[in-house]
Amino acid sequence: MTTTADPATGSPDATEVDTAAEAPRRPALSPSRANDFMQCPLLFRFRTVDRLPEPPSSAAARGTLVHAVLERLYDAPLGERTPEAARALLPGEWERLVEVEPRYAELFTPGGDATGQPLETWLEGAGRLLGTYFTLEDPNRLEPAARELKVESQLEDGPLLRGVVDRLDVAPDGAVRVVDYKSGRSPRPGFEASALFQMRFYGLVVWRERGVLPKMLQLVYLGDGQVLRAEPRARELEVTEAKVRSLWDAITTAARRGEFVPKQSKLCGWCAHQAVCPAFDGTPPPIPTDALRRRLGVEV
């Protein structure tokens, strides 16, 4: 699985729309790719259809590493899930991460965005994020029902929704809490829309898949020690479903027309594709043959 960084927070997000020919999966929509399209349809095309490479990001790598440690931490028995135990996992998890995604090793070579920084110092940054986690939750009082849970839900007459839930908690009375870790900072007041959409997207998928309306949706921001919580109502998730359907209609319409229009914003400064973006006098490459069918399920 590849990862991309959320330019607003530096948090990693799994690239869950994945239907490459060598490992075909049904085309699906994830919250990260949905946010890509809302941010800029051309960015969505570059990431989902063209699969243009992006330089590895130390923020994304650190976030992925912290996610891996928090998943592994819950393998330890109660009482042994300590900050020291979490930090001790960092070197081994980093080695596993580089083995899976060798490009992360380029971060510390000339041209990488961690050039000149000793790996030990960089890992200390991840350790500080883990330290923040322990100020927000006590993992010794939790027994997750699932970690890194792959979820899918097929909307009737709509897209397949797909995602990975960092943690699913189930209380003795059956109440479900959906938890997602973010290594970046929480959104400023008035800018929570993207975060709330992601939370409700996951809430919708879990609801449709399990038939249980989640009691709590929770985003844990390790960058500044904030927790964003929402108690979803059925009507809110139904509105989210309608929004997802409308968004998928817009995506398939853009694909059939071959018109993924760039949308300029402050986030353009984070984009790795300015050289091929018309908004910056670039020319997009031709869409790969058969990519729209394989990656979006759209026949043109």
Read off the pLDDT of residues 204-257 as tens digits, 9 standing for 90 and up.
999 999 999 999 999 999 999 999 999 999 999 999 999 999 999 999 999 999
Q: What is the DSSP letter of 145?
A: S
The answer to whether residue 19 is domain-embedded is: no
In the listed set 221, 240, 259, which residue is the last one of a domain according to the structure?
240
Residues facing 59 on adjacent strands: none
Give helix 31-39 / helix 234-257 axis angle, nearest 10°: 60
| 65 three-class SS | helix
Same domain (yes/no): 150, 213: yes
Mean pLDDT of 6-27: 47
Read off the pLDDT of residues 139-188 as tens digits, 9 standing for 90 and up.
999 999 999 999 999 998 889 999 999 999 999 999 999 999 999 999 98
Same domain (yes/no): 68, 135: yes
Same domain (yes/no): 153, 128: no
The answer to whether residue 130 is domain-embedded is: yes
pLDDT class for 9, splitting at 50, 70, 90? very low
The answer to whether residue 267 is domain-embedded is: no
The predicted pLDDT at position 21 comes to: 38
Residues in the chain: 300
pTM, rounded to two decimals:
0.88
DSSP for 160-198 reads: EEEEEEEEEEE-TT--EEEEEEESSPPPPTT--HHHHHH
Residue 166 is part of a domain; what is its CATH number? 3.90.320.10
The answer to whether residue 236 is domain-embedded is: yes
Same domain (yes/no): 135, 62: yes
The answer to whether residue 108 is domain-embedded is: yes
Q: What is the DSSP letter of 275?
A: G
The answer to whether residue 255 is domain-embedded is: no
DSSP for 75-139 reads: TSPTT---HHHHHHTHHHHHHHHHHH-GGGGGGGSTTSTTTT--HHHHHHHHHHHHHHHHHH--G
Distance CA 47, CA 43 (A): 6
Question: Which residues constitute the domain of residue 95?
Answer: 58-141
Same domain (yes/no): 137, 167: no
* Burial class, 266, CB count within 10 angstroms (exposed 0-12 / middle 13-18 / buried 19+): exposed
For the sheet with 146-154, list strands across it: 146-154, 160-170, 176-182, 216-221, 226-230
Same domain (yes/no): 122, 152: no
In the listed set 240, 255, 284, which residue is the last one of a domain according to the structure?
240
Computed over its alpha carbons, how large is the radius of gyration of the chain?
A: 19
In the listed set 210, 240, 270, which residue is the last one of a domain according to the structure?
240
pLDDT class for 24, splitting at 50, 70, 90? low
Same domain (yes/no): 131, 150: no
Read off the pLDDT of residues 60-85 as tens digits, 9 standing for 90 and up.
999 999 999 999 999 999 999 999 99
Same domain (yes/no): 156, 90: no
The answer to whether residue 203 is domain-embedded is: yes
Same domain (yes/no): 73, 91: yes
The predicted pLDDT at position 192 comes to: 86
Read off the pLDDT of residues 270-300 as tens digits, 9 standing for 90 and up.
999 999 999 999 999 999 989 999 999 998 8
Distance CA 102, CA 133 (A): 27
Same domain (yes/no): 134, 100: yes
Percent of the chain with pLDDT over 70: 92
Same domain (yes/no): 162, 208: yes
Same domain (yes/no): 133, 156: no
Q: What is the DSSP letter of 211?
A: S
Q: 243 near 38, Cβ under 8 Å?
A: no
Q: How distant, in Å, are the alpha carbons of 15, 139, 149, 201 from that of 77?
A: 31, 10, 20, 32
Count: domains in the chain: 2
Task: Determine the distance from the C-alpha atom of residue 78 to the mean position of all C-alpha atoms in its chain, rounded to a whole number.
Answer: 28
The answer to whether residue 174 is domain-embedded is: yes
For the record, the structure tokens of 200 come out as 């409700």
